[in-house]
Amino acid sequence: MPSDTAKELYLELLKKTILFEIWLEHEPGATVENRKQGLDWPMIAHSMIGRLRMDSLHQHMNSVLADNIEGDFIETGVWRGGACIFMRGFLKANGVEDRRVWVADSFEGLPAPDEARYPVDRGAIFHEQEFLKVSLSEVIKNFQRYDLLDDQVRFLKGWFEDTLPTAPIEKIAIARLDGDMYSSTMDSLTNLYPKVSVGGYVIIDDYSIGYCSAAVHDYRQAHNIEDPLIPIDTTGVYWRKTKP
């Protein structure tokens, strides 16, 4: 087991690499503040969630280990895989072998709005944005670049409404939802929240997007969830589950 200092140095370097902070001057159009807040769409970096949300994820993972909260880690909507890569690096750095990282994405971009099921998504054009379409093979290759692809990483390829209901996940300690739309967020909450352990965290990456926040409020209201929503930065929020 590495020393605490060596572990923290590795995880800090992993964050800087995933976010491309070390070479930010070579990232077209990037600024320190935008990368901190996760407000830009990087041409090179393996994550667009920014430093504040990455640090928050780190804190949540430390918390579930310290408090022995049972369950795996999952992200729904992974783009180039950076946040999931950091999750796997965190588990490896801490010598954790009994948790998995679930990498859930269509790997084909976002779905077109299904206005019949989710009229809130009317007008959404995320499905037209080629920049958001990152293939499974590219995400796998990114894991390999960090030497973090192994049997503790599991991929769920397809639309959330198809993959999440039957995903062989028993318990979840960290659920990181990054689906932008009402449909993606609601499908994720509906299928995953019941598996989140008490003391586990639900992270909403895109709360500042109206489609997403509407789904969060509707789900929480329908299930009488009163745990406070805590802001992370200008975009993301989280809450910690306190009741079964």
Q: Please tell me the predicted confidence (pLDDT) of residue 1.
A: 52
Residue 70 maps to a domain: yes
Per DSSP bridges, beta strands 196-204 and 101-105 are unpaired
Q: Please tell me the predicted confidence (pLDDT) of residue 3.
A: 81
Tokens representing residue 126 in the block: 């995320």
What are 139-194's pLDDT values in tens digits?
Answer: 999 999 999 999 999 999 999 999 999 999 999 999 999 999 999 999 999 999 99
Q: Please tell me the predicted confidence (pLDDT) of residue 2.
A: 59
Residue 86 maps to a domain: yes
Residue 46 maps to a domain: no
Per DSSP bridges, beta strands 196-204 and 172-177 are parallel
**Spans of the chain below 50 pLDDT:** none
Number of independent structural domains in the chain: 1
Q: Please tell me the predicted confidence (pLDDT) of residue 97.
A: 98
Whether residue 233 contacts residue 53, with contact meaning beta carbons closer than 8 Å, is answered with yes
Q: Please tell me the predicted confidence (pLDDT) of residue 215.
A: 98
Q: Give the rounded distance of the alpha carbon of 136 from its chain centre.
A: 16
Residue 1 maps to a domain: no
Tokens representing residue 38 in the block: 């996760």
Residue 32 maps to a domain: no
CA atoms lying within 13 Å on the CB side of residue 239: 15
Residue 15 maps to a domain: no
Question: Which CATH number fits the domain that encloses residue 93?
Answer: 3.40.50.150
Gap between the Cα atoms of 177 and 179, Å rounded: 6
Residue 68 belongs to domain spanning: 51-240
Residue 5 maps to a domain: no
Residue 149 maps to a domain: yes
